[in-house]
Structure formats: C-alpha cells, structure tokens
Amino acid sequence: MNSAKEWLENAQAMQATLSATYMEEQSNKLGRTKEELLGEMEKRWMIMANSAQKGLHGALNPLGGIIGGEAFKMREFRKKRKSYSGSSLVNAMAYAFSTSEYNASMGKICAAPTAGSAGILPAAILSAQEQHEFSDEACMHALFTAGGIGELIAKTATVSGAEGGCQAECGSAAAMAAGALVELSGGSPEMVFHAAAIALKNVMGLVCDPIAGLVEAPCSKRNASGVVNAMISADMALAGIESIIPLDEVILAMKDVGDRMDPDLRETGKGGVAATPTGQRIADRIFGRDK
Amino acid sequence: MVFDILGPIMIGPSSSHTAGAARLGKVARDLVEGEILSVTFGLHGSFAETYRGHGTDRALLAGVLGMSPDDERLGQSKQIARNHRLIYSYVRVDLENVHPNTVKFIFVNDQHEVIRITGSSLGGGQIVITQIDDFSVRITGSEPTLLIQHTDKPGVISTVSKVIADSGVNIADMRVRRTEKGKLASMIIETDESIPVKAIQTLKDFAWIHSVKQIDPNGEAIS
C-alpha cells in the first residue's frame, strides 16, 4: 500500500473498511494474526489513554518547567465557565495537554507518530468514545486507520519535525486522528481521506520552533489545537465537504513545503517563537547561561 | 508498519534525547565485562547543551542500570544508582566530528579495567555504538550482535563462523578489526537469531579468544 488511492481501491475490492483492509495487509506482511495485532494495539492504547488523563488532576513536573498545569486548568474551566468552543473541544484539549505535560515530565507515552505530537490521537479517540460511547473494539480498529494514514505520510513525506516542521508532526497526528474519527462515526473511506487531507492543509507551513529546544512550548498548545483541528476536519468531512486536493497530493505538497523550510524553523530552537527575546531568556535560564 | 507509527512506547520527552539515550546506556553496559563500579558520561554537542531539559542524564544512567526506554523508573535512575552504589558523573566533552547527540562512556569494572565506549543517538530512538576502546565499530543493537575480542592470527574467522553455523544461526553481517598485526583484534557479528549459550561457551573455550559478548535486543545481556 503506497498511496491513499491504492488503499481505497483495495478497500473497495474487499468491500471492507480502511481499517480492516490495512489490518489484513499488516497481518500478511508481519506474519501475525489479526488478534495478535489487536492485542498489541490494545497495549498501546492503554498507555495512550493513561497519559491523556495523568495531568487532569493537578500540575505534573515538566523537566524544563516552561509548561505545567494546562490540562488541569482546562478541566477546571470546563466545570466553572461557559466556553466558546464547547464542552467536547474543551474536554479533548484537556486530554491533549495532559499527554504533552506527562511526556515532558518523563511519563510513559506512546509516540503517535512522535513523542512531541503524542497528545493528539489519544485525546481525539478518548473524547470521542466518551461522547459517542463507541466500543473498545471500534476504537482499536480506528487506531489502525490512524496508523495507516501515518504510515502513508511517513513513506511519502516525513513525520519528523526536524525534517518537515510541526506541520509534519502535529499536522500528521491531526490527519491520523481526523481519519480515525470519521471511520468511528461510520463515514465512508473517501470521507476518511478528505478529513485527513483537510487536517493537513489546515496547518500546512507550520514551523517547529520549540523554546530552548525542549518538547514543551509551543508543543503542548499545538497538541491542544491539533486535536481541535482533527475534530473539525472530521466534522467537515462527515458533513459531506470534500478536500479539493486529494490526500496523496496534499502529502506531497506538505513535503515540498517542509523541504523549502529553513533549518532554523525545523526543531533547532533557532527560529519562530524560540528565537524571540523571551524564548531566548527562557533558554538561558534553563541551561544556566544567566548573564 | 503500524507500530513504527504508533510507537515506540517510551518515557518522554524526546525519542532522540531520552529514549535513544537509555538505549545507548543499555547497549554500552552490555558490552562491558563484569560488574560496573563507576561510569563517567562525556556529553557532546546537543547532549551537552540540552541534557537537563530532556532528562538525557537520567536516561543514560538508567540504561547503564539495565533499564529499557519504557521503564517507568527511568526518572529515578540517580536514586537507584546510589542504592546500588554505582558511582556516576557527567562531564562536557568535545569529540569533534561526531553526531551532535553523542556520548562517550568511561566505565570501570570490578576488575578495575577501564572501558571507553562512544555512541550516538540518531533520532526516533535509533542508536549506534561507534567506538569501543581502540576499535572503530558499528553496533546498532537492533539485531542480535556478537562482539569477540581475540588474538590476531590465521584461521580465526573460519573457526568462529563454523561454530556459529553449527549452532544453526545465520550471519547477517561480520566485521573484523585489529589494533596491530598479531596483537588484539575484534570481531562484530550480526546474526538473524540469537546465538545459543552453548555455542558462546564453545567460543569462550578457545585460548585465543579473550572475551565474547552477545547483545540481544529482545533479552538480557549474555556474557
């Protein structure tokens, strides 16, 4: 399976969902039964779901100390105030913040597709399951759809911030989550790919500019906005809105943008908000370069 | 494959600076004979610049204590090392033309031998060991790997490869290096499967073989 087009053709030929088609392919390729693959996925899901809830009850202890307490604040806000973005988005953002903060605090996470973007997919699936009461089995299948979309992006372009900027990390995570959400809601395979394409386009060009080079800021907020991106992209696709540009071409466009991105804007901590006076001051404080 | 995208399972925050550092520590430790009394970590490049914010120091030490990148005790490795009376320290070094995420380990074992090992974290949790004492090597730790130190003399390669072949294991890659003609040499053999303990013992029984270490990505170090 080398493109979304090929994946879709296989699914149509098998009259199966994208997740079932991808699981069949992975099962043949890896020489493992579907039950074994589902078991392995469940193990990963437990770690994802755990990380998405660790930060909800109070601040953790991120190594750089740049972030902390965002998941808790978001959760409290939901209880006390009427939000603009609605309780499902606020809830999902709290989960995404939690995984980011737990990761920065040396907690155990499952990269999806990277550690820096690990908050987006768990937050999307966990909040969807709560809101719509999807079965665990349906959620495990949706994670395969997410994994397949991620694999397509990794094969054709990159999922590394150092290579393609944040569009390649949080953009890919959002595309994976958007596709998974559409399949969970019973959307067609075409809709899955429209959602993934829309999510990638929404953040095309986003640079990777971590303050002090650490996976804290603006990473955690981009995980929160990343899950929102996934949810609104899924809703657009489920409403019947199509991506004008097909997913395969959007992935190539994302790669092209990443290739043209200055190295200062790709995880080096030398551009974007990392290069601002405040960003530099924080870096100096953390690395003991106080003047 | 799917679990390359939804994975690895790891202790955060960084696959290169935390998970890769833990793997480097673990593979390096597996290359040392005997019990480790002390270790000095020479941190180069980005490892030296940003280790505090990424927990690189704790991850390296955790690896030396035998922990995997997903071990939840990784953040407490300094306390655990003190409990085990393992002496450790960190210094900044400039190793010149090496990968930005590079560490030089200086181990002292219970025979009071000093062992120097250099390795780099390449990203995504992938690592490579590039130097063991005077030998340039290339050990990734992702395949079962045999490291043999032996006297440089004719017939060594064929004898070792026969022992491995007789144990039913296929050799994927093999490299031989020596310090000086007729002196100490080293052999690094990557295999498709782990080599049985019995075959390792057979190798150890040859007088001209000084040490045999197997790094098994799926198991504990066998020495």
Find the mean pLDDT for residues B152-166. 93
Smallest CA–CA separation between A133 and chain B, in Å?
23
Give pLDDT, residue A82. Answer: 94
- Calculate the average pLDDT of chain A: 96
The span from the CA of A259 to the CA of A248, in Å, is 17
Cβ neighbours of A157 in B, within 8 Å: none
Chain A nearest-CA distance from B86, in A, is 22
Q: Which of chain B's residues have a Cβ under 8 Å away from the Cβ of A287?
A: 49-50, 52-53
Question: Is it the case that residue B222 has pLDDT exceeding 50?
Answer: no
**Cβ neighbours for B139, distance < 8 A, ≥ 6 positions apart:** B27, B31, B128, B129, B145, B147, B188, B215
Rounded Cα distance between B171 and B193, Å, is 9
Q: Which pLDDT belongs to residue B218? A: 62
- Give the pLDDT of residue B160: 95
| A207 Cβ contact list (under 8 Å, min separation 6) | A165, A166, A167, A261, A265, A266, A271, A272
Phi-psi region of A213 (alpha: psi -120 to 50; beta: other; left: phi over 0): left
Q: Do A108 and B70 touch (CB under 8 A)?
A: yes
Which residues in chain A have their CB less than 8 angstroms from residue B15's CB? 111, 114-115
Phi, psi angle pair for B97, to nearest 5°: -80, 70
Alpha-carbon gap, residue B43 to B55, rounded angstroms: 13
More confident position, A201 or B184: A201
**Using the beta-carbon criterion (under 8 Å), do B53 and A110 form an inter-chain contact?**
no
Pick from A40, A107, A113: which is nearest to B12 by CB?
Answer: A107
User: Which residue in B5, B43, B72, B126 has the most chain A C-beta atoms within 10 A of its own C-beta, making it the best mutation to test that interface?
Assistant: B5
pLDDT per residue over B104-121, tens digit each?
999 999 999 999 999 999
Nearest by CB to B14, from A113, A148, A215: name it.
A215
Q: Chain B partners of A110 at a C-beta cutoff of 8 Å?
A: 6-10
Tens-digit pLDDT profile for residues B95-107: 988 998 999 999 9
pLDDT confidence bin for B219, thresholds 50/70/90: low
Q: Which domains does chain B have, with CATH numbers?
A: 2-139 (3.30.1330.90), 145-215 (3.30.70.260)
CB-nearest partner of A214 from B54, B123, B124: B54
Determine the residue of chain A that is closest to B11 in CA distance. Answer: A108
Calculate the alpha carbon distances from A13 to A55, A142, B190 in Å.
Answer: 44, 20, 42
Position B188 pLDDT exceeds 50? yes
| Cβ–Cβ gap A112/B5 under 8 Å | yes
Closest chain B C-alpha to A76 CA, distance in angstroms:
25
pLDDT in tens, A177-196: 999 999 999 999 999 999 99
Q: Do A147 and B52 touch (CB under 8 A)?
A: no
State the alpha helices, DSSP H only, in A70-218: 70-80, 87-104, 120-132, 136-156, 161-164, 166-184, 189-202
Is the confidence at residue B220, as pLDDT, over 60?
Answer: no
The pTM of this model reads: 0.90
Task: State whether B10 and A215 contact (CB < 8 Å).
Answer: no
Instruction: Give me the residue from A29, A108, A147 closest to B72, CB to CB.
Output: A108
Q: Which residues in chain A have their CB less than 8 angstroms from residue B52's CB?
A: 63, 286-287
Distance CA B20, CA B89 (A): 19
Report percent pLDDT > 90 for chain B: 74
Nearest by CB to B6, which of A108, A143, A215? A143
Residues of A in Cβ contact (< 8 Å) with B2: 22, 26, 37, 41, 144, 147-148, 151
Average pLDDT, chain B: 92
The alpha-carbon gap from A43 to the nearest alpha carbon of chain B, in Å, equals: 10
Q: What is the mean pLDDT of each run of 10 residues along chain A (291 residues)?
A: 96 97 96 96 98 97 96 96 96 98 97 96 98 97 98 95 94 98 98 98 97 96 98 98 98 97 91 97 85 47
What confidence score (pLDDT) does residue A70 get? 98
Write out pLDDT tens, residues B21-48. Answer: 999 999 999 999 889 999 999 999 989 9
Contact flag A287-B3 (C-beta cutoff 8 Å): no
